[in-house]
Amino acid sequence: MLISRQVLARPMAGVRPFALPALRHPTVATLLADHRVLLADLLDGLGSPLHVVLPEIFEGNVVRLRRAFADAGATADILFAKKANKAGCYVTSAAALGIGVEVASTPELVKALAGGVPGHRIGISGPEKDDTLHALAVQHGCLVAVDSIGELRRLAATARLARRQATVLLRSRTAGQPGSRFGLSPAERNAAVGLCAELATHISLRGFSFHLNGYSTAERATATNEMIEHCLDARRRGSPSAELVDIGGGLPVRYVEPQLWDDFLRQNEPAHYHAAKDFKDFYPYGGQSATQAVRAIMAHPVDSGQSLAAKAARHGIRFVVEPGRALLDQAGFTMYRVQQVDDRRDTDGYAIVTVSGSSFSLSEQWFNSDYLPDPLLLPAQPGAVEVFPACVAGSTCLESDMVTWRKIGFPRPVRRGDHLVYLNTAGYQMDSNESPFHDAALPLKAVIRLGDEGARPRWRLDGI
């Protein structure tokens, strides 16, 4: 995938913001370069903030991820992690491409089914799921990741009443995360495997899954290898259909150039943020791409130096992968209208730009962090080039409502009525934390397809 980059000029004096321009997909670059009037009209007409979602890019990401597994010699079923974005257009694209959806609630399951995804392609995760979700999962033949022996017994009872067989993964704690609140301990897993064999009329044990924090490919490969061994053990103990290993999500996304990211980390300090905010952790914005991570996981050496993919193939193991962020890479962006500018350059060295909307629509602060790629300034009127240091605040009454704590080096003074564009926000940023605070309406999502070269983009509201 071709990515273009833009580097902002550095200020000559005063506060010196670090330029961290976001990578952008060619489709996004075309929209921003050739269709600014359309974007401005949508923002003015539909309200600020406005989320622009791009299912064509999502579909391209699915194709690339499929190819990465195939090139590694692995068989993998892709399930889009629904929690990463609530837009229905992505579910529709998933159904059209024949991939599945991973859900963790009854409303998510209903929306996946309504979007055209058949039940046998839907995976259900989440701890201690309620009886309603169990009943729907059994009725539609979904793959249920079970988190405890108590849940396994409840699911078996639901399947018995429905005169059906529930298909199950046992979510197990890994050796690397024994204290996780998710999954079965080794003793519980051992008991659950035996119980699945006893309840074979109502429970079909299909394999194992795990929960893992972070983006270490080595840790994910090691955990995956543990689950392969659990499958082999389950087969020996009376569950011959144990052939699936769910490796979870955790495939990274690259937002900025790696070298620029390394430079940023070396220079980062509290003075670069409003109120000298001191963040302890950031998403790895300049790390691996998802396809690089897949190759590394599948090539990881396990028994006698053979690759993880080779071991899985030798034992007839298929993988399940649940990417959310990785499938949404570049598949959407968020636009805000500037509501006011408090120019404090003479006193504080930077301005505070207040936008119409709040930080709830850019959810990185949910993780006590800051969304770091620079927002783009789309001026309502042309202006002279002059670096303008500013942070970006939401329009609520909360002191902590900062859309961007970091001081951005805008290429000219920001004015009321200008538009700010935050790129690559589809994955977990847009709507994970949105709320109708102050009785404000939830932001809308505009679905745009660019179509043939030279054609005017087509748009509609998501859900209509």
Cβ atoms within 10 Å, residue 68: 21
State residue 381's pLDDT score. Answer: 66
Q: Which pair of structure tokens corresponds to residue 237?
A: 């103990």
List, in order, residues 6 or more apart from 111 with CB less than 8 Å away. Answer: 82, 88, 91
Rg over CA atoms, the chain? 24
The answer to whether residues 336 and 258 touch, using CB atoms and an 8 Å cutoff, is no
Using DSSP's 3-state secondary structure scheme, residue 422 falls into: strand
The CA distance from 356 to 53, in Å, is 20
Burial of residue 40, with CB atoms counted within 10 A of its CB: 0-12 exposed, 13-18 middle, 19 or more buried: middle
β-sheet bridge partners, residue 122:
101
**CA end-to-end span of the chain, whole Å?**
30
Strand ranges (DSSP E) for 232-282? 244-246
pLDDT beyond 70 at 5? no
β-sheet bridge partners, residue 319:
76, 245
The CA distance from 458 to 213, in Å, is 38
List, in order, residues 6 or more apart from 382 with CB less than 8 Å away. Answer: none
Tens digit of each residue's pLDDT (9 = 90 or more) over 11-36 = 433 457 999 999 999 999 999 999 99
The CA distance from 308 to 298, in Å, is 5
The letter for the amino acid at 124 is: I
What letter does residue 444 receive in the DSSP assignment?
P
pTM summary value: 0.94
Sign of the Cα torsion 366, 371, 377, 378 reads: negative
pLDDT beyond 70 at 10? no
Tens digit of each residue's pLDDT (9 = 90 or more) over 358-367 = 999 998 988 8
Tens digit of each residue's pLDDT (9 = 90 or more) over 213-256 = 889 999 999 999 999 999 999 999 999 999 999 999 999 999 99
From the list 243, 246, 227, 225, the residue with the least C-alpha distance to 302 is 225
Count the residues in the chain. 464
The CA distance from 434 to 440, in Å, is 10
Tens digit of each residue's pLDDT (9 = 90 or more) over 42-94 = 999 999 999 999 999 999 999 999 999 999 999 999 999 999 999 999 999 99
- Angle formed by the axes of helices 106-114 and 88-97, to 10°? 60
What letter does residue 445 receive in the DSSP assignment?
E
